[in-house]
Amino acid sequence: FELLFHSRDSVKMAAGQQWVLVEMVQAFYEAPAYHLILEGILILWIIRLLFSKTYKLQERSDLTEKEKEELIEEWQPEPLVPLVSKDHPSLNYDVVTGPPSHRIIVNGKECINFASFNFLGLLDSERVKLKALSSLKKYGVGTCGPRGFYGTFDVHLELEERLAKFMRTEEAIIYSYGFATIASAIPAYSKRGDIVFVDEAACFSIQKGLQASRSFVKYFKHNDMEDLERLLKEQEIEDQKNPRKARVIRRFIVVEGLYINTADICPLPELVKLKYKYKVRIFLEESMSFGVLGEHGRGVTEHFGVNIDDIDLISANMENALASIGGFCCGRSFVIDHQRLSGQGYCFSASLPPMLASAAIEALNIMEEDPGIFRVLQDKCKHMHKALQGTPGLKTVGEPLTPALHLQLENSTGSRTNDLKLLRAIVDYSLDRQIALTLARYLDKEERFLPPPSIRVVVTVEQTQEEMEKAAQCIREAAVKILK
């Protein structure tokens, strides 16, 4: 019986194969001519690819040992890095001795400090120093571990709670390095395929965050809301062409509250309108505006009276107004908690030293106890801005409320190197007369839009009106003498 069944199955299989063959032949005769021609071309093309060489073999030439040695001697390797002149400004430092507070010792000379971002004068505050010293004795110097690996101290949690309360947001997260704050926050949310609309004047830390995100970046002209809306409209049209793709693309606007490279304040109310009109998210970098703008120093949102919940993420460093180290982000809890899992600077860097966290907490105490300090700073910024107007050969760049103004050449020499030399000569002239200024420094080959050379003039609450007048007069004298 088994033999009978096997023979019957074999007959059925053979009959089935014959029927398939008949169907293939029939389909071949019924197919249209163009279909057969196309298949024939494809078959010939495949045969050609299989049997043709993809490259031509070079004729081999055997060199003698002498010829090999001569070639090796002639070969000159390219330098690992380009040669840099010993006179490059980045290789010649102005050395500071002692704290960079109101009075600063630079290269052995005591000067009035118009260079450090110590806006509220808290760097040399006795209260802040005592708090940091007490914390140093209790916790030691460093942490030797990221936040997720025994690097979370009680003062970190306290500082995060205090920052969230001060900014009137649900939650805050702190980083141990100010530059890494926004550079870590952007790629935590924006990924490959997402779209980020960025101001051309965005600072270098924002640029690094954009590079790390690998998102598609569209730059709009500095503080030009018409140009931004043009880009948003173009993207809206693109989204309508492919709704399925548009549904998975996230869109962000990244701006600074107070731009460090231009000393301009962003038009936040207009940005919020565009946010809701085109359904995008806003990331606001407030390192220069936190502790500066607003009645209580809460930044550009308070300055314009914008509801802070309209901003998806706010970041700032603690290295300016708070006179500490590190940075923070604040916003809604579900937004901030995502950084605890995805913020590279938070997850992989050693946490902020407890003494610096304690110093920042005490600085916040001072800011909350004396909100009048912000009005004092803003008034002095206006005074300095007015005093610098009309400086021969120099133009003042920035808004009156800006604590870090730029002085640029009215007429460039046509060479960035020569422009920097002229401005450096003004800085040196002022330094000899006990006025400490600094050049704005950039990585020339790395900046997306390289700002013009400038002298940066920083205003703090500790400077008196007489000292500001003296600095402005010194700059005028230097400009007259050097920019002939």
**DSSP state letters, 23-73:** HHHHHHHHS-HHHHHHHHHHHHHHHHHHHS-SSPPPPP-PPPHHHHHHHHH
Same domain, 327 and 382: no
Among 315, 337, 369, the domain-final residue is 369
Same domain, 263 and 289: yes
Reading the block at residue 449, the tokens are 């839009």
- From the number of C-beta atoms within 10 Å of its C-beta (0-12, 13-18, 19+), residue 378 rates as buried
26: in domain: no
467: in domain: yes
Q: Cα(397)–Cα(405) distance, rounded to whole angstroms?
A: 6
Question: Whose CA is closest to 181, among 208, 152, 143, 218?
Answer: 208
Among 332, 352, 369, the domain-final residue is 369
Evaluate if residue 45 carries a pLDDT over 60.
yes
Same domain, 356 and 436: no
Same domain, 355 and 400: no
130: in domain: no
Residue 419: give its domain's CATH number. 3.90.1150.10
Q: Which residues pair with 407 in a beta bridge?
A: 396, 455
Same domain, 454 and 346: no
257: in domain: yes
Q: Which residues pair with 405 in a beta bridge?
A: 457
> What is the rounded average pLDDT of the residues 215-223?
94
Same domain, 223 and 348: yes
Same domain, 362 and 393: no
Q: What pLDDT score does 44 carry?
A: 86
Q: What pLDDT score does 35 carry?
A: 72
Evaluate if residue 287 carries a pLDDT over 60.
yes
Evaluate if residue 32 carries a pLDDT over 90.
no
Total domains present in the chain: 2
Q: Which residues pair with 327 in a beta bridge?
A: 175, 317
**Tens digits of residue pLDDT in 322-342:** 999 999 999 999 999 999 988
Same domain, 391 and 359: no
Q: How confident is the model at residue 4 (pLDDT cuts 50, 70, 90)?
A: very low
Q: Cα(415)–Cα(287) distance, rounded to whole angstroms?
A: 31
Q: Which amino acid is at 102?
A: H
32: in domain: no
Evaluate if residue 221 carries a pLDDT over 70.
yes
29: in domain: no
Q: How confident is the model at residue 54 (pLDDT cuts 50, 70, 90)?
A: low
201: in domain: yes
Evaluate if residue 19 carries a pLDDT over 70.
no
- The phi and psi torsions of 218 (rounded to 5 degrees) equal -120, 120
Residue 242: give the domain boundaries.
Answer: 141-369
**Tens digits of residue pLDDT in 246-283:** 888 999 999 999 999 999 999 999 999 999 999 999 99
Q: What pLDDT score does 56 carry?
A: 59
Same domain, 186 and 266: yes
Q: Which residue has the higher pLDDT, 139 or 20?
A: 139
Among 369, 390, 406, the domain-final residue is 369
Residue 163: give its domain's CATH number. 3.40.640.10
102: in domain: yes
Same domain, 177 and 310: yes
Same domain, 206 and 349: yes
Same domain, 183 and 302: yes
